[in-house]
Amino acid sequence: MSASAARKIAFEALRRVEAEGAYASDVLHAELGAEVKLADAALATELTLGVLRWRRLLDFLLDQQLKKPVATLDLAVAIALRMGLYQLRYLGKIPARAAVNESVELVKLARKSSAASLVNAVLRRLSADARKPAEEIVSPEPAPADRLAIIHSHPTWMVKRWLARLGEERTVALLHANNRAPRLSCVLHAPERRDEILRSLEKAGLRIEPGTVLAQAFAVCGGSPAMTEAFRKGWISIQDEASQAVPLLLDVQAGDRVLDLCAAPGGKTAPLARAAGGGLVVAADRHAHRLRAMRAQFERLDLTGVSLVELDATRELPFRAAFNKILVDAPCSGTGTLARHPEIRWRLKPKQLAEFHQLQVAMLREALENLAPRGRLVYSTCSMEPEENEEAIEEVLDKAQNVRRVSQDTVRRALEPHLALGIEARALLDSLGQFRTFPGEHRSDGFFAALLHKE
């Protein structure tokens, strides 16, 4: 496969993200099979995710050369322009001529030949100063939030929120983190075979890096772990370290009755099921197709004994007996995963935070109704927003007289045995004992989790 074919994959992925509401990671996973060379897969991934991360700045630069905003052009033309400028600006190993010519070819392949001369002219004009720092291009005139949002390619409303809550230094760190490729972290399902598994991954050409949060976690680079024997045989899975940490907070023991209420895609269910050892484990989700995908995942992991249930977690749950351990990994805005899923920053609207809040509160209340006395529940999201995190917890606790947060010391004791060398549990917990990771500080996604106890 040629580099041009890799660009075709990226072009089609970007088209589907824009036109169909697809997620880039899902499209790339489907398109980048074993027959695609590693170099081509890497280029297609870099172009797709890079253009999505930097879309606002790319459009700002393109608009200066166009008579009308790039966002109003035919979608195929807009994508070709963004891809071309991204290569000129961020991929120094690609000759400018190739970046321009390939973008022109993409327009022709999309049957928009009438726009070929426009694409050629605009990209050639931009090529001379394409790598000029954004701080030198964007004038100081816009308001601080607007300027930061353009320079770092985020929606202004997000940047305003973060500035107000985090301050400029932490906000800029977060913006930088969101525009870097995230670590490709893995969870080890057979820790007793760690050395053997890591050697097999290195033999497959991957480079191994130690975990930054968890002792058993590791990260890989230089290839796709999903293409390895270790993945096929269920020895490893791909999962962010913060996501791996969440189920550990429940401290599940053999014989526990465990409910994973929003379980798909199943990454957090697996450690719960293994820890429960003979107990009842129920994994629930609202969508049948996601339950089918989970079943396939559990087959790869050789994981048995998990009951899959289709249900709406905002309504009365259909269980006769209570559970003593419940995980509510709630649907959320995903603002802690903007490096991994950059399209979210362009789709999410401010009003949706209130909608997510209502959904999350309803789920949490139903889950607590099914929590046994002296039982524990973990509520988690991959969101950075207080409406979805501490404010959801506060609203539920305000009316739940017999439920309280677990103390910081208890949460710390649950987490400490699993942490990487040099990592202190207190650095991951706030004053209320709530678990938080910050992409600009922990080299992970941004996660929130609160551990609740029913008296």
Q: Is there a contact between 324 and 259 (Cβ–Cβ < 8 Å)?
A: no
Active site residue 382: yes
Question: In which element (H, E) is residue 341 found?
Answer: none
Is 336 strand, coil or helix? helix
Burial of 167 (0-12, 13-18, 19+ CB in 10 A): exposed
Query: CA geometry: angle at 279 spanning 248 and 242, to 5°?
Result: 15
CA atoms within 13 A on the CB side of 81: 32
By C-alpha distance, which of 381, 393, 265, 378 is closest to 334? Answer: 381
Q: How far, in Å, CA of 246 to CA of 8, rounded?
A: 38
Burial of 233 (0-12, 13-18, 19+ CB in 10 A): middle
Question: How is residue 28 written in tokens?
Answer: 């790339």
Q: How far, in Å, CA of 367 to CA of 268, rounded?
A: 17
Q: Is there a contact between 76 and 175 (Cβ–Cβ < 8 Å)?
A: no
Q: How far, in Å, CA of 294 to CA of 301, rounded?
A: 10
Burial of 93 (0-12, 13-18, 19+ CB in 10 A): exposed
Q: List the catalytic residue out of 186, 262, 332, 382.
A: 382
Q: How far, in Å, CA of 39 to CA of 43, rounded?
A: 6
By C-alpha distance, which of 233, 213, 14 is closest to 106? Answer: 14
Tell me the catalytic residues. Answer: 382
